[in-house]
């Protein structure tokens, strides 16, 4: 992406409190807060939203640019306006001479370094500003879209949720294997009747218990676990809580466990 701005960061002579400089690399020993705040934004926002923020930063002159404060105030996601306001405040304190283009470059740099993603909170129902969180319905779609080879989806109940069904169909169209683990007593499979026949629908063997898990796992890189079933109300209106995991050390055994459940020799699940 193009970068603009007039600061010459190559002039090291005679530094002053107002000389523009790039914040130091992320480090636990660093006394600067701005790099950590930028990394937190990268952890929270999907890549397309980060790109929008970078494009905005390219157009502003510094932390006191009115365009930036208006953009921050307009954010509706819970806690995001406060998070951006804190970035602006610390930018003003730590590197007041840095242009928006410089901060955009720092943000792009933080985004470019691969690292295990942190856990992320997903909620349904009313959203407060107490913790950074995203609505379960949007997170579920994002996880499904991220699958390259496989999707493991488990739900006790399912009805409506047409956007979820549409995204699963798109995953199938791009060659993703889809395994749906559904509770038979709730007739959850009916919600997915429009999907192709080669989508694998599984029910529990026997009647000693029910399938009550709620899971969407994309390959082995991302999984949404929570209380929400795949229903319209659970994904948006009910008070539900979930977490998105992106740590392969957690996801590998989780996916392996569900593969074990599906193995015919273990007689736990059967194809519908």
**CA–CA separation, 5 vs 55, rounded Å?**
13
Which residue segment(s) compose the domain that 190 sits in? Answer: 117-271
From 112, 127, 160, give the residue that closes a domain: 112
Q: Give dist(CA 234, CA 241) in Å, integer.
A: 10
14 part of a folded domain: no
Q: Which of 56, 90, 112 is the last residue of a domain?
A: 112
Task: Report if residue 5 sits inside a domain.
Answer: no
Same domain, 103 and 228: no
Q: Are residues 169 and 196 in the same domain?
A: yes
Q: How many Å separate Cα 103 from the centre of its chain?
A: 22
Residue 29 lies in a domain: no
Beta strands in 92-249 (DSSP E): 117-124, 133-135, 150-155, 158-159, 177-182, 200-204, 215-218, 222-226, 230-231, 240-246
> Which residue among 112, 134, 151 closes a domain?
112
In tens digits, the chain (272 residues) has pLDDT values of 333 333 332 333 343 333 333 334 434 444 688 988 998 888 788 888 888 999 999 999 999 999 998 998 898 887 888 999 999 999 999 999 999 999 999 998 888 876 666 788 999 999 887 777 889 999 999 999 999 999 999 999 999 999 999 999 999 999 999 999 999 999 999 999 999 999 999 999 987 899 999 999 999 999 999 999 999 999 999 999 999 999 888 999 999 999 999 999 999 999 99
């Amino acid at each position: 992406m193009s970068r603009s701005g007039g600061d010459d960061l190559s002039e090291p002579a005679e530094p002053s409190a107002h000389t523009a400089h790039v914040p130091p690399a992320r480090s636990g020993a660093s006394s600067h807060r701005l790099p950590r705040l930028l990394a937190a934004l990268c952890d929270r926002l999907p890549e397309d939203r980060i790109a929008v923020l970078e494009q905005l930063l390219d157009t502003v002159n510094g932390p006191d640019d009115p365009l930036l404060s208006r953009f921050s105030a307009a954010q509706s996601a819970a806690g995001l306006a406060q998070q951006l306001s804190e970035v602006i405040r610390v930018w003003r304190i730590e590197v007041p001479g840095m242009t928006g283009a410089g901060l955009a470059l720092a943000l792009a740099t933080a985004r470019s370094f691969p690292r295990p993603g942190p856990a992320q909170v997903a909620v349904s129902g009313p959203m407060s500003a107490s913790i950074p969180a995203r609505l379960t319905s949007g997170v579920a779609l994002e996880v499904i879209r991220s699958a390259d080879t496989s999707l493991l989806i488990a739900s006790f109940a399912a009805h409506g949720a047409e956007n979820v069904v549409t995204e699963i169909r798109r995953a199938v169209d791009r060659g993703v294997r889809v395994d749906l683990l559904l509770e038979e007593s709730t007739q959850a499979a009916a919600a997915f009747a429009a999907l192709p026949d080669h989508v694998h629908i599984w029910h529990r063997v026997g009647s000693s218990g029910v399938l009550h898990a709620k899971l969407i796992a994309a390959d082995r890189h991302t999984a949404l676990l929570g209380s929400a079933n795949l229903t319209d109300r659970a994904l948006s209106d009910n008070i539900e809580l979930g977490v998105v995991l992106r740590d392969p050390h957690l996801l590998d055994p989780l996916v392996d466990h569900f593969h074990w459940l599906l193995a015919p020799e273990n007689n736990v699940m059967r194809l519908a």
